[in-house]
Amino acid sequence: MCKGEDFEKCEYRETMKVGFKLMGRVERLKSSVLKVNSWLLIIRAIVTALVWASAVQLVGIWLIRGPSLFNVWPPCTHLELPAHAVELTNKLPMPIALPPKRVYKNNGYLMVSCNGGLNQMRAAVSSSHFITILDILTFSFDVLLGLSPTTMLFYSLLDFTQICDMVAVARYLNVTLIVPELDKNSFWAASEFQDVFDVDHFIASLRDEVRILRILPPKLKKRPAYSLPPVSWSNMSYYLHQILPLVQKYKVVHLNKTDARVANNGLPLEFQKLRCRVNFHALRFTSQIEEVGRKLVGILREKGPFLALHLRYEMDMLAFSGCSHGCSNDEVEELTRMRYANPLWKIKDINSETKRLEGLCPLTPEETALVLVALGVDHNVQIYIAAGEMYGGNRRMEGLKAAFPNLVRKETLLEPSDLRFFPNHSSQMAALDYLVSLESDIFIPTYDGNMAKVVEGHRRFLGFKKTVLLDRRLLIGLIEQFSTGSLSWDEFSYIVKEAHANRMGSPKERVSVPDKPKEEDYFYSNPHECLQLLDGPLRTT
């Protein structure tokens, strides 16, 4: 209580006490408000983050599953884009709907090593791990003999079939496929699988059939893989009873030397169709190769129809086959030295003329010119040389160029800048020739190697496009008779035309030779199980 004389002072003190109490309450109130606001901010941030996360996930689902999930929304009004924007949009690749992943019990991992050229690579994938490139032999001539990459162009190109076979085997065994590595000791070490093919597309487009990984999972890298070469021309029974138990035991099996083929015939229809799916859909060249290939075809198309000539008269082909018809003595010696220098070529002593008369040699440029004229090919047509450098150079090409002056090749049609991405990469250069060969109005191979066989089958798949399959044994006999005067030109030309009237890549049944797979028709040259026939039932001739 305040006394009277001190009332004012006392009142002041009481007022101050009340004021301090009020100020304390205000401060406490402010503190609590700040705490509440802080929690509100935190809660708001969390809610905002959740909302955005949900939105991102919904957008992701929409991108994967398509706009059908949101078809309750009103349609957007059409907006007119400027011309340059429309042109840019048209150049963008169309999005591809990915197939659903196949769910299965994984029995293990399959690795594959390939040796040889691009075609070997393509074929091997069907079996296990995608690796491949033509089933032509591995060559290390760049080191041994100093050959240029262009000399060995098509050996680097294409046994796509290895890849296709290995994918199908992986699917059949329920194993995970590992992206293959090329043989690091061979000429083809210059290119990796991803340098030639679109790996992402390959993996994604087959995910409903087989799981494919770029590399082994880390936990398996330290575990030694069981390595072995597969038995050539095996059916699925071999892989099921011989390879699968090894995969289950060791978890990782490495198939080397996969130029060994899976059988052509006697396989389940699903297996055969998967081989085709890999070859014709999953194996897509890189965007750079595809772009340059389209440019090449565009340049050729601007000038009219064109014929792709797979002229297998490169140095490596002649040394390997032992064919030296028309070569000088010095050239014969050079080819012989090359054959003996390569330990992978088992046959060393070869009689060139005997082999030629049996139809086992590629046609020479001079013989090719004679055959093309006899077939009635227009002298002014563009002829695209789908091959490497011809052995003997311009001297050996004079007769062909005299008969068909419009001979072209990628190096003459493109600027050096167009090929700047492919220096010393034979597989990529060969891939360009493969693309042009597919698009040509007529395709004529002078030797039935893997490149020729795979292009033949691919052109059948594209609608039985005209492919002239030369009967070399018959032709060499006719050429000898014409050269000696036993046949007139009219007789020669008539017989050549008649003999090839039914050898144009039209539908026919694949020839099967039980117990002799090397003598029967190659599956990839005529995968009739996968083809929609255009002219009625299959023929047997």
* Total residue count of the chain as it appears in this document: 541
38 pLDDT band (50/70/90 cuts)?
A: low
187 in Cβ contact with 426 (< 8 Å): yes
Instruction: Convert the pLDDT of each residue in 126-141 to its tens digit.
Output: 433 322 333 332 333 3
Contacts of 28 (CB under 8 A, 6+ apart): none
- Give the span between the Cα atoms of 73 and 323, in whole angstroms: 71
Q: Which residues of 360-369 are buried (b: 16+ CB within 10 A; e: fewer)?
A: bbbbbbbbbb
170 in Cβ contact with 134 (< 8 Å): no
Q: In the structure encoding, which two tokens stand for residue 365, read together?
A: 């440029």
**Average pLDDT score over residue span 356-378:** 97
**Extents of the domains making up the chain:** 109-121+153-282, 287-530
- Give the span between the Cα atoms of 275 and 160, in whole angstroms: 10
The amino acid sitting at 345 is W
Cross-strand bridge partners of residue 306: 382
Residue with the larger pLDDT of the pair 82 and 178: 178
The amino acid sitting at 281 is H
Stated pTM of the model? 0.74
Q: In the structure encoding, which two tokens stand for residue 378, read together?
A: 């227009």
Q: Specify the pLDDT at position 28.
A: 55
Share of the chain above pLDDT 70, in %: 68
Sign of the C-alpha dihedral computed for residues 38, 44, 46 and 52 taken in this order: negative
Instruction: Convert the pLDDT of each residue in 56-109 to its tens digit.
Output: 454 443 333 333 322 322 333 333 434 433 443 344 445 567 889 999 999 999
Rg (alpha carbons) of the chain, rounded to whole number = 34
The residue among 300, 337, 294, 295 whose CA lies nearest residue 315 is 337
- Give the span between the Cα atoms of 251 and 245, in whole angstroms: 10
**Residue in the block written with tokens 């398509």:** 66
Own/partner pairs, 298-303, CB within 8 angstroms, 24+ separation: 299/413, 299/414, 300/382, 300/384, 300/408, 300/413, 300/436, 303/382
189 pLDDT band (50/70/90 cuts)?
A: very low
